Amino acid sequence: MNSILLSIILVPIIEIYLLIKIGSQIGAMTTILLIFTTAIVGIYYARYEGLNTLKSGFIQLSKNEPPAYEVLSGAAIAFAALLLIIPGFMTDVIGFLLIFPLSRKTIFNIFKKKIKFKKKQNNDFIEGDYEDIEDNDDRKI
C-alpha cells in the first residue's frame, strides 16, 4: 500500500484517538484551548524561525555560497507551520520538532544518512576520429 495513502488514513485516526484520550483526562475546554494555544504559539515561532532562515540565506548569498540548507530549512518550517495549523497533538509534536533548529538539524542528518546519493559518471563523450576537410576537397560529404 502506498505510504501517502496510508498516512492519509492513519493520521486522522491517531489524532482523533489522542484528542479523545487527552480530552477525557484534562477536559474538553482545556483540550480545545490547548489546541488553539499550540497553533498560535507555533505559527508565531514558525514566523520567527522563517525570518531567521531567510536572513541566514541572504548571508549565504552575500558570501557567494548556495543557501541549500536554508532552502531546505525554509521548506521544513513551512511544512511545520501547516502541521501546527491542523488540529491535533501528534501533528503539533511533529511541527514543533521541525521548527526548533536543533531537532530540525538532527532530522535532516537522519534523512541524509538514509538517502544514498549516487555519483554520476561522466559519460558525456563519444570516442571517434575526425579529419579536417578543405572546401575544395573532393572527399567532402
Q: Are 11 and 90 in contact (CB under 8 A)?
A: yes
Please tell me the total count of domains within the chain.
Answer: 1
Whether residue 45 lies inside any domain: the answer is yes
pLDDT at 51: 93
Residue 77 covered by a domain: yes
Report if residue 75 sits inside a domain: yes
Residue 76 included in any domain = yes
pLDDT at 6: 87
Is residue 52 in some structural domain? yes
Give the 3-state secondary structure of residue 117. coil
| Closest C-alpha among 93, 92, 88, 81 to residue 22 | 88
Establish if 42 belongs to a structural domain: yes
Our measurement of the distance from residue 70's CA atom to the centroid of its chain's CA atoms, rounded to an integer in Å, reads 11
Residue 28 backbone phi and psi in degrees, to 5: -70, -45
Q: What does the pLDDT profile of the chain (141 residues) look like in tens digits?
A: 688 888 889 999 999 999 999 999 999 999 999 999 999 999 999 999 999 999 999 999 999 988 988 999 999 999 999 999 988 999 999 999 999 999 999 999 988 888 776 566 666 667 777 777 776 656 555
| Closest-CA residue to 7 (of 116, 109, 105, 90) | 90
Residues composing the chain: 141
Confirm whether 103 is domain-assigned: yes
Q: 66 is in which domain, residue-wise?
A: 10-114
| 132 inside domain | no
